[in-house]
C-alpha cells in the first residue's frame, strides 16, 4: 500500500469551551499560536508526512476553517470537508467521514500539534496491517488529564479516559490513529455516554477483544486544552527552529528574538516586546509599553505605559494606558474544576476594553465586549458585555 492512498481525517468541528472567550467567535482549531491557527500546524504536519488528501470534519464556526484552508492548494494537498452538524463526540465526528474514505486512513485531532514523523509512522503501520487499529502514545506528567494507555511491547492493551484513580502509567493517547473501514461498524456499536460517542470508548471496546498497534511519539506533541496552555505552546513553537514563524514587520527597538510579528505592527518609542510573544497583524504597541510572554491577536491596541505579561489579548481589544496585567501564578476554575498554581496573567476577550490605570489580577478572564473603567481593579471571570466600574 503506497503512502499516497492513505488519507487523513482531521476532527475540527468542536467549539473548545474551555478556551472561552477565545472560542466565542472562532472554533478552537482556529485559535492562533505564533500567528498561525492550531489547525495550520496539523495540516502542515500531514503535508510534511506525504499525506496528500485531507478530510476536515467541520461544524462550529466552520466558515472560518473553510475560508482559511480552501481546497488545500497552499499546502499542496487536496482538502475536502464533511460536516458534523451537532457535536456529539469524537467517534460521531469520525463517522461523518464514512462516505469519503475507503480503506486504511488516519484520524487526527485538529487541536494537537504533532510532528510529521509521528504521522508517517502511524500511516506506515496502518498501511502494513490495516486489520489492526493503530494508536499513537506519548508520555505526560499529567496523564490523568488524558486517555491513559497501557502497552505490552508494541501493542496497546488498555486505554482509560481521564481515570479518577491515580494513573498507573505515564503513557497517554497522543491522538493520531490509524483505522480501517471496520472502525465505522465499531463506532455504531459503541454505547453513548452523556449524549456523546467518544472514539476512546470505541477503542476500549476493541481492546477488550484484541490489542492495537502502538506507535510511540518521541518528538513534538503540543496540546492546547486550557487558556494558559496557549501561552506555553506559543513559547514552545517560538523557541523551536523547526517551526516556521512570521516576522512580517521589521520593528526597531527592544524586541526579543523568539517572537512572531505580523504585518503592519506598530511599536512606539521605548516600548519592549519580550520573549515568547506573538503579535498579530495590525497590532499597535504604544510608547513605553511592555509586552512579554503574550499572545496578542490581530488589531489589538496596547496603550502607552501598559504592562502585559503572561497574557492573551484577543482581536480588537484595547489595553488602556498604564494598565497592568502583571502575570504570575494563580488559581483558575474551569467548568467547576480548580487548577492551582497556574502561570497565567489573564485573557482579554475580543473587542474588550480596559481603561487607563486598570489593575488585572493573575488568572482574570474578561469576556468579549466587556468594558473596565479607568482605575478599576478586576479579578476572576468577567462576563461578556459587562461593565466594571471603579469601586
Q: Is residue 230 part of a domain?
A: no
CA distance 265 to 291: 13
Q: Is residue 229 part of a domain?
A: no
Q: Is residue 222 part of a domain?
A: no
Which CATH number belongs to the domain containing residue 358 in this structure?
A: 2.160.10.10
Last residue of a domain, one of 186, 216, 246: 216
Contact between residue 151 and residue 214 where contact means Cβ atoms under 8 Å apart: yes
The terminus-to-terminus CA distance of the chain in angstroms comes to 69
Q: Is residue 48 part of a domain?
A: yes
Contacts of 161 (CB under 8 A, 6+ apart): 146, 147, 148, 198, 200, 201, 204
Predicted pLDDT of residue 167 = 63
Do both 191 and 242 map to the same domain?
Answer: no
**96 against 253, higher pLDDT:** 96
**Helix/strand/coil percent split, the chain, to 5:** 20, 35, 45
Q: Is residue 314 part of a domain?
A: yes
Predicted pLDDT of residue 168 = 67
Give the Å distances, CA to CA, from 280 to 25, 190, 264.
16, 43, 9
Query: What are the grid coordinates assigned to 219, written together?
Result: 518528538
Confidence of residue 145 (pLDDT cuts 50, 70, 90): confident
- Tens-digit pLDDT profile for residues 62-120: 999 999 999 999 999 999 999 999 999 999 999 999 999 999 999 999 999 999 999 99
- Tens-digit pLDDT profile for residues 352-383: 999 999 999 999 999 999 999 999 999 999 99
- Per the structure, the complete domain to which residue 68 belongs is given by 3-216
Q: In this structure, is the dihedral angle defined by the CA atoms of residues 10, 16, 18 and 20, taken in order, positive or negative?
A: positive
Do both 343 and 307 map to the same domain?
Answer: yes
Query: What are the grid coordinates assigned to 159, written together?
Result: 486505554
DSSP tag of 369: T
Do both 203 and 328 map to the same domain?
Answer: no
- Tens-digit pLDDT profile for residues 147-202: 888 888 888 888 887 776 666 678 889 999 999 999 999 999 998 888 889 999 99
CA distance 299 to 280: 7
Backbone φ and ψ of 200, nearest 5°: -70, -35
Q: Is residue 343 part of a domain?
A: yes
Instruction: Specify the number of domains making up the chain.
Output: 2
Predicted pLDDT of residue 189 = 93
Residue 223 has pLDDT above 70, yes or no: yes
Q: Above pLDDT 90, what percent of the chain?
A: 79
Do both 193 and 302 map to the same domain?
Answer: no
Q: Is residue 103 part of a domain?
A: yes
Do both 359 and 296 map to the same domain?
Answer: yes
DSSP three-state, residue 276:
coil
- Tens-digit pLDDT profile for residues 19-35: 999 999 999 999 999 99
Q: Is residue 93 part of a domain?
A: yes
Contact between residue 154 and residue 214 where contact means Cβ atoms under 8 Å apart: yes
Do both 200 and 277 map to the same domain?
Answer: no
Which CATH number belongs to the domain containing residue 173 in this structure?
A: 3.90.550.10
Amino acid at each position: 500500500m503506497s503512502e499516497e492512498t492513505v488519507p487523513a481525517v482531521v476532527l475540527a468541528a468542536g467549539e473548545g469551551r474551555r478556551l472561552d472567550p477565545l472560542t466565542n467567535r472562532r472554533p478552537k482549531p482556529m485559535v492562533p499560536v505564533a500567528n498561525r491557527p492550531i489547525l495550520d500546524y496539523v495540516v502542515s504536519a500531514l503535508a510534511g508526512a506525504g499525506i496528500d488528501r485531507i478530510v476536515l470534519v467541520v461544524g462550529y464556526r466552520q466558515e472560518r476553517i473553510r475560508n482559511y484552508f480552501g481546497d488545500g492548494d497552499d499546502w499542496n494537498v487536496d482538502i475536502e470537508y464533511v460536516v458534523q452538524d451537532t457535536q456529539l463526540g469524537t467517534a460521531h465526528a469520525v463517522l461523518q467521514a464514512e462516505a469519503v474514505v475507503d480503506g486504511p486512513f488516519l484520524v487526527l485531532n485538529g487541536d494537537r500539534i504533532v510532528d510529521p514523523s509521528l504521522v508517517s509512522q502511524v500511516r506506515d503501520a496502518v498501511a502494513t496491517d490495516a486489520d489492526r487499529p493503530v494508536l499513537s502514545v506519548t508520555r505526560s506528567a499529567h496523564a490523568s488529564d488524558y486517555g491513559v494507555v497501557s502497552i505490552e511491547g508494541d501493542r496497546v492493551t488498555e486505554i482509560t479516559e481521564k481515570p479518577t484513580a491515580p494513573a498507573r502509567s505515564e503513557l497517554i493517547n497522543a491522538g493520531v490513529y490509524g483505522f480501517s473501514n471496520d472502525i465505522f461498524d465499531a463506532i455504531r456499536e459503541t454505547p453513548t455516554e452523556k449524549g456523546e460517542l467518544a472514539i476512546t470508548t470505541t477503542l476500549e471496546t476493541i481492546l477488550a477483544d484484541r490489542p492495537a498497534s502502538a506507535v510511540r511519539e518521541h518528538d513534538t506533541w503540543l496540546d492546547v486544552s486550557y487558556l494558559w496552555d496557549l501561552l506555553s505552546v506559543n513559547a514552545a513553537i517560538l523557541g523551536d527552529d523547526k517551526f516556521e514563524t512570521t516576522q512580517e514587520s521589521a520593528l526597531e527597538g527592544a524586541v526579543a528574538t523568539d517572537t512572531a510579528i505580523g504585518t503592519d505592527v506598530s511599536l512606539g518609542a521605548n516600548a519592549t516586546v519580550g520573549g515568547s510573544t506573538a503579535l498579530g497583524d495590525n497590532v499597535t504597541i504604544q510608547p513605553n509599553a511592555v509586552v512579554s510572554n503574550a499572545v496578542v491577536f490581530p488589531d489589538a491596541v496596547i496603550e502607552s505605559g501598559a504592562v502585559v505579561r503572561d497574557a492573551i489579548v484577543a482581536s480588537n481589544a484595547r489595553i488602556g494606558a498604564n494598565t497592568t496585567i502583571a502575570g504570575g501564578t494563580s488559581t483558575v476554575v474551569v467548568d467547576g474544576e480548580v487548577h492551582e498554581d497556574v502561570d497565567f496573567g489573564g485573557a482579554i476577550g475580543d473587542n474588550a476594553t480596559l481603561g487607563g490605570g486598570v489593575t488585572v489580577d493573575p488568572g482574570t478572564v474578561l469576556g468579549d465586549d466587556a468594558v473596565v473603567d479607568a482605575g478599576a481593579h478586576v479579578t476572576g471571570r468577567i462576563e461578556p458585555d459587562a461593565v466594571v466600574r471603579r469601586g
